[in-house]
Structures are given as C-alpha cells and as structure tokens.
Amino acid sequence: MTPTINLDEELHRELASYGNRDESYNTILARILNHVDEEEAQRDRMNRNTTFETDEEEESSSNPAVEQLDDGTEVRFKIERGEYAGEERTGIVRGGRIEYNGSTWSPTGMAREADHDIRGSDARNSGSYSGPREVKYQDANGQWVPIQTALE
C-alpha cells in the first residue's frame, strides 16, 4: 500500500499548478524536490522549532509505572542493536517523573530525548533505528526490566 499525504484544498490547488494533466502528484513533487538545496533544507530542519502541538499533559503529569519506583532510582535507555548498539543514557526517578538532561520526562519522552542525544540527526531517520524505545530500571534481582513491569 502506498502511503498517503493529506493536503488542504488550497495547497492541493497550488501543487496542481506546478504540473500538467499528464503528471501525477508524485511526479510533480519529485520535480520540485529536485530543485531544493538539500544541505540548506537539512540545516533549516535541524534549527527550526517544532511547529506541531505536543501532548503537554503527557509530558507534565507523572507516570503510574514510574510512581511505583523510589525517588533516586536510576533508569536507562539503551540501544541494543545496530550501529549504535551499547550506547545508553541514564536518568533518575524524581516524583513520578524521570529527570534527564536537566528536564523531567515521561518514559517515552526520556527515550525520545536519549535517542536523539545518542544518534543526533540519525534519530530523525526512523529507518536506521533497530533498538527498543523503552526505558528500563533494575529490579530486585539486578535485571534491567521495562518500567511498565513496576505496575505488576
């Protein structure tokens, strides 16, 4: 199945103005993208603030699984396979959140930030990532287990 991009009506009309009746939108987009300065576009992408809305409530509230862990518990995000195998980042549980890199996060937020810290611009290329996207803690047996197991 081919992925679909939804466009608003105004953008759809504007895109159509770059082609003719015999061209598909894929052909039109490919032609337009061939004229983009790729290095400048990537530089702009890396320096631009995020414009989509984030789930502020998820990032600001505590996490039920993390709440089960004692404050001061060390947690980690570790890439298990691929080019970055063995790379890890650690955080500390504080008040039902994970303190990492000077901010507090949910497990998902910490994983996202740690992944970006480890892989830099590769983190935005989902095709190059082959490891877990979860944060773990050490259980009573000394095993690193997913934070969700704290709810069991």
d(CA 32, CA 38): 12
| Bridge partners (DSSP) listed for residue 144 | 138
The predicted-structure confidence for 12-63, as pLDDT tens digits, reads as follows 788 888 888 788 878 888 888 888 888 887 777 777 665 544 444 444 567 8
Strands (E), the chain: 74-78, 88-94, 97-100, 103-105, 135-138, 144-146
Q: Specify burial of residue 75 (Cβ count, 10 A radius: 0-12, 13-18, 19+).
A: buried
The full set of domain ranges for the chain reads 9-47, 58-151
Q: What is the pLDDT of residue 59?
A: 46
Residue 88 has pLDDT above 90, yes or no: yes
N-term to C-term CA, the chain: 39
The predicted-structure confidence for 124-143, as pLDDT tens digits, reads as follows 555 444 445 689 999 989 99
